[in-house]
Homo-oligomer: A and B are copies of this chain.
Amino acid sequence: MSMKEVLKLVGLGALAVTLGVECLDWLARRLWPGRGSHGPLNEVLFFPSPPACVEHLFTPARTLPCSCSLPHGVETSFGKMLGHVLSAKVSLDLCVFSFSHVELCRAVLLLHSRGIAVRVLTDADYMLITGSQIGALRRAGICVRHDVSNAVHMHHKFALVDRRKLITGSLNWTLTAVQSNKENVMVTEEPDLVPPYQKEFESLWEASDPGKRHPHSFSQSDFSGHAA
């Protein structure tokens, strides 16, 4: 075989491989839109989400069907969001203004019980409202910090799963937000979007360290012992 024929063969081979890869890529994007081989996960969820059973997300190995009165086998925005939270394998960094949703609290407690590193940052005022789940998280031993800056509110509503998946949007982690409000939640693994949120979380976490509070941020009663 002459050199010319070898070069021709190599050229045609390269062309065939390129076309094959392009076809497979096209097929992948058709079959899994939003998660094609071209890009990372990008999913948008809108609320309100209708009430539906999410027991299968907590106990996927369960053999008996759930007997609760909620609709079963329904895929909802909330179910998808909960699935993303429960997908954590290493860490969950949560930065949320208001957290009173019982099932989301159950998910966070479950992750903690599995040994996943959970950090929760919340608003100083809203963590005290009726129905807040912050107390339950703290009682379970989860490290919770609240904003101690001069900000009026720590109004974020984002979560970072394994430092690579960002869940963010307008939705507070409350039942009203999930079932009654018009809300949006974006789930993304975009490498341009996730790191800034992780960096902001680390910065806020550091700034909310109770051990590093400046003395004059304590009130007089903090130093008055039993005399108060």
**What is A's interface to B at a CB cutoff of 8 Å?**
3-4, 7, 11, 34, 39, 42, 44, 46, 48, 97, 147, 149, 151-158, 168-171, 176-177, 180-184, 186, 188, 190, 192-193, 196-197, 200, 204
Contacts and interface: CB of A to CB of B under 8 A. Distances in A.
A171 B155 contact: yes
Given A177-B155, A193-B44, A184 B170 contact: no
A159 to B, nearest CB: 12
8 contacts: A4-B7, A34-B192, A44-B193, A44-B197, A97-B170, A151-B180, A168-B186, A182-B204
Contacts of A193: 42, 44, 186, 188
Contacts of A196: 44, 46
A182 B42 contact: no
Nearest to A169: B168
Nearest to A183: B155
A152 B168 contact: no
Contact of A192 (B42, B149, B182): B42
A219 B223 CA distance: 58
Contacts of A155: 170-171, 177, 181-183
Given A44-B196, A197-B44, A182 B169 contact: no
Given A190-B190, A192-B34, A158 B182 contact: no
A147, A177, A184, A197: which has the most chain B beta carbons within 10 Å? A184
A197 B42 CA distance: 13
A186 B147 CA distance: 22
A47 to B, nearest CB: 9
A46 B168 CA distance: 13
B200 A184 contact: yes
